[in-house]
Amino acid sequence: MSQVECSQMECMTDRIQNADWNQISEQLHQHGYAMIEQVLSERQCGELKAAYCQADLYRKTVNMQRYRFGLGEYKYFNYPLPNLIEQIRNEVYPRLVPVANAWFKVLGLGNSFPNTYVEFLNLCQQHQQTKATSLILKYQKGGFNTLHQDIYGEIYFPMQLVIVLDQPDINFKGGEFVMTQQNPRAQSKVMVLQPNQGDLLIFTTQFKPERGSRGYHRVNMKHGVSPILQGERHSLGIIFHDAVN
């Protein structure tokens, strides 16, 4: 690893470590998402985009239109993951464990998550979930991603990450990150976000707890991407749990 790469990795790590994690936890409890700005540099984003054509990095390519997932393409990384992705997972996971355990506790789900990411990956492996799920998504004009949840097996972590690798209104227009929250016996709430290049968005994978008059209940969450009106949009998705296939 070059000195420049080390310096950028250190800056990335510092931004994650120095973020206000109390505020992030509160935002996740309240809204189901939180943002850390400028975690990746423009150069790091460019390197990830350039690596999209490096076939040996990936285990699987998915044409979204073929499966009615939307219009675009994504590629799942193979193990071993690039150092940058490994570093992000190892830095962010333990800081989200208290939130995840609090959610499962108030909803009576019984499970608790281990404190270290290595232990969590071991748990995935015990359930035959051994395939990497981190991915890069690519959309061109007209591309979009239908609302969905990223569950790949029995074991899952209730939050995941995305980093947009292009700059909105410069490299592309449209392509907002969309989340929906479905409350029981109520209409869905829609949240529309537009992170800048390099921002780290943390969001709920499947659900979050919501306090009601009779205590906490579960509200289901989905996410997707609105149509790209112009240009090209790449994003890095980092999912903590591994997949069966």
Residue-wise pLDDT for 202-236, tens only, equals: 999 999 999 988 889 999 999 999 999 999 999 99
Weakest mean pLDDT among 61-65, 90-94, 130-134, 213-217: 213-217
pLDDT band, very low/low/confident/very high, at 186 (cuts 50, 70, 90): confident
Report the CATH number at residue 192.
Answer: 2.60.120.620
Residue 156 has pLDDT above 70, yes or no: yes
Span 164-187, mean pLDDT?
Answer: 94
For position 178, what pLDDT does the model report? 99
Angle at 220 between CA 216 and CA 225, to 5 degrees: 145
Per the domain annotation, does 77 fall within a domain? yes
Q: What's the rounded Cα separation, in Å, for the pair 63 and 67?
A: 7
Cβ neighbours, 10 Å, residue 91: 17
Are 237 and 161 in contact by the 8 Å Cβ rule? The answer is: yes
Burial 115-141 (b: 16+ CB within 10 A, else e): eebeebbebbeeeebebbbbbbbbbeb
Q: What's the rounded Cα separation, in Å, for the pair 54 and 122?
A: 28
Per the domain annotation, does 86 fall within a domain? yes
For position 1, what pLDDT does the model report? 54
Span 178-185, mean pLDDT?
Answer: 90
pLDDT band, very low/low/confident/very high, at 2 (cuts 50, 70, 90): low
Are 240 and 202 in contact by the 8 Å Cβ rule? The answer is: no
The overall longest dimension of the chain from CA atoms, in Å, is 56
Residue range of the domain that includes 120: 3-239
Residue type (1 letter), 67? Y
Supply 197's token pair.
């290049």
Q: What's the rounded Cα separation, in Å, for the pair 158 and 12?
A: 23
pLDDT band, very low/low/confident/very high, at 168 (cuts 50, 70, 90): very high
Closest CA to 34 of 185, 200, 146: 200
Residue type (1 letter), 59? R
Structurally, the chain folds into a number of domains equal to 1
Span 51-77, mean pLDDT?
Answer: 97
Span 43-68, mean pLDDT?
Answer: 97
Q: Which of the pair, 102 or 186, is modelled with greater confidence? A: 102
Q: What's the rounded Cα separation, in Å, for the pair 94 and 100?
A: 10
- How far lies 25's CA from each of 131, 134, 230, in Å? 29, 23, 34
Instruction: Quick: pLDDT tens for 133-147.
Output: 999 999 999 999 999
For position 4, what pLDDT does the model report? 57
pLDDT band, very low/low/confident/very high, at 187 (cuts 50, 70, 90): confident
For position 213, what pLDDT does the model report? 81
Are 135 and 51 in contact by the 8 Å Cβ rule? The answer is: no
Residue 3 has pLDDT above 90, yes or no: no
The pTM for the full model equals: 0.96
